[in-house]
Amino acid sequence: MPLRDVEGQYSALEGLKRALSHHRLHHAYLFAGPHGVGKALAGFGLAQALLCDGPRADGDGCGACKGCTRVAERQHPDLHVLERLERADGKGLEAQIKIDQVRQLQKALAYKSFEGGRRVVVIEEAEAMNPSTANALLKTLEEPGEETFFVLISHAAHRLLPTIISRCQRVRFSPLPREFVAEKLAALGELAPAQAELLAGLAEGSIGKGLALAESGLLADRVALIEAADDPDGLQRIGALSELADKLGRDKGELPLFFLLLRTWYRDLMLVQAGLPDDRLVHHDLAARARARAVQIPFDALDHRLKLLASTERDILQGNANPRLFLERLFVHLVDDARAGRAGRAA
Ligand SMILES: [Zn+2]
């Protein structure tokens, strides 16, 4: 889609559109911001603008010509996309962008462009380049050749090498407003308004995440999961939690959603403690439970839980930890924490 159709990122894209219309584009951009807020849409929108057969007066792509269509299909010969490849065993994607992919790109860029004009390189999940791959790219980024433009896309720009970052113009994408996400999810996912609103709250400003949530089975277990993981009599449930750890440990795809559910739940309790109205809660259908729990768990303990969740999630998702072991440890902490909280109040 052309840049003008990328919604909800007005301030991020304003400068870019101005540069485009004044023919003052930087040769390398870093589109940074959370998952699913339009970074890739904008990246390919910019590629369309650059490879369009008859761009509009403001420099944006027409969206309909052969050039634009081939960019949208990722089939344009002067569009080079670097992304994590499918694993040979068919089990998802490689963890990293390979150095060979960068070398192939460099070979392709050494030749003249096919259409005799511009070339665009889009690198998705640029943080998936390890230091040696990034270093290999660096030279091309420094001397890209005439009419060659780079768009690096990243939801974790802090993991990029400083030398890469310093060669790019950064465009900051923000989480999208909750109402906007709800509206889009209702339309895209054909969802009832109440469900779209719940998903929008959970999606933390990301349409992509909202859609993934809508498709995941985990949402059906939302209430049960929250009740299990945040049970004042958690000790009785430790068997159930161990089972849950086992299940989540096997199916790593659901882990980010699991952490998201607990994170938003504890944040809701903080919002209740801060005196915010129920309709500001993500899980506002569970407002009564949230109000009851918010008086039982002190703010410091909630803060501690959120930190514990974050560190456990990071350790597991970075592959440094055995998921099952770490989840069990997390649950034991949560339960101990709940007992300590009660003992503290009893004393
Ligand atoms: Zn066009």
List pLDDT tens digits, range 106-139.
999 988 777 778 999 999 999 999 999 999 999 8
Q: Are residues 222 and 136 in the same domain?
A: no
- Residues 305 and 315 sit within 8 Å (Cβ to Cβ): no
- Residues 48 and 220 sit within 8 Å (Cβ to Cβ): no
CA 24 / ligand 1 centre spacing (Å): 19
Collect contacts of 299-302 with beta carbons under 8 A, ≥24 apart. Answer: 299/270, 299/273, 301/337, 301/341, 302/266, 302/269, 302/270, 302/273
Instruction: Tell me whether residue 257 is in a domain.
Output: yes
Instruction: Tell me whether residue 203 is in a domain.
Output: no
The span from the CA of 272 to the CA of 278, in Å, is: 8
Q: Are residues 160 and 221 in the same domain?
A: no
Number of compact structural domains in the chain = 2
Task: Look at the pTM and tell me if it is higher than 0.85.
Answer: no
Q: Are residues 168 and 315 in the same domain?
A: no
CA 51 / ligand 1 centre spacing (Å): 7
Q: Are residues 141 and 30 in the same domain?
A: yes
Q: Are residues 155 and 267 in the same domain?
A: no
Q: Are residues 315 and 227 in the same domain?
A: yes
Q: Are residues 163 and 92 in the same domain?
A: yes
Instruction: Tell me whether residue 208 is in a domain.
Output: no
Hey, what are 122's tokens?
Answer: 């889009």
- Of the listed ranges 41-50, 91-100, 107-116, 286-295, the one predicted with least confidence: 107-116
Q: Are residues 168 and 58 in the same domain?
A: yes
Average pLDDT over residues 47-57: 96
Which among 142-146, 165-169, 276-280 has the top mean pLDDT?
Answer: 165-169
Average pLDDT of the chain is 88
Hey, what are 306's tokens?
Answer: 């959120």
Q: Are residues 168 and 221 in the same domain?
A: no
**Final residue of a structural domain among 172, 204, 227:** 172
CA 286 / ligand 1 centre spacing (Å): 49
CA 20 / ligand 1 centre spacing (Å): 14
Q: Are residues 260 and 318 in the same domain?
A: yes
CA 69 / ligand 1 centre spacing (Å): 7
Tens-digit pLDDT profile for residues 217-257 = 667 778 888 887 777 666 556 666 677 777 777 766 777 77
Q: Which of 149, 105, 154 is nearest to 129 (CA)?
A: 154
Write out the residue range of the structural domain in which residue 134 sits.
3-172
CA 89 / ligand 1 centre spacing (Å): 38
Instruction: Tell me whether residue 204 is in a domain.
Output: no
Instruction: Tell me whether residue 236 is in a domain.
Output: yes
Q: Are residues 81 and 167 in the same domain?
A: yes
Q: For residue 313, what are the CA distances in angstroms to 61, 256, 307, 321?
A: 41, 8, 10, 10
- Residues 50 and 144 sit within 8 Å (Cβ to Cβ): no
CA 40 / ligand 1 centre spacing (Å): 18
Instruction: Tell me whether residue 333 is in a domain.
Output: yes
Instruction: Tell me whether residue 88 is in a domain.
Output: yes
Instruction: Tell me whether residue 328 is in a domain.
Output: yes
CA 66 / ligand 1 centre spacing (Å): 7
Q: Are residues 38 and 130 in the same domain?
A: yes
**Final residue of a structural domain among 153, 172, 191:** 172
**Final residue of a structural domain among 172, 197, 231:** 172
User: What's the alpha-carbon Rg for the chain, to the nearest Å?
Assistant: 23
CA 70 / ligand 1 centre spacing (Å): 9
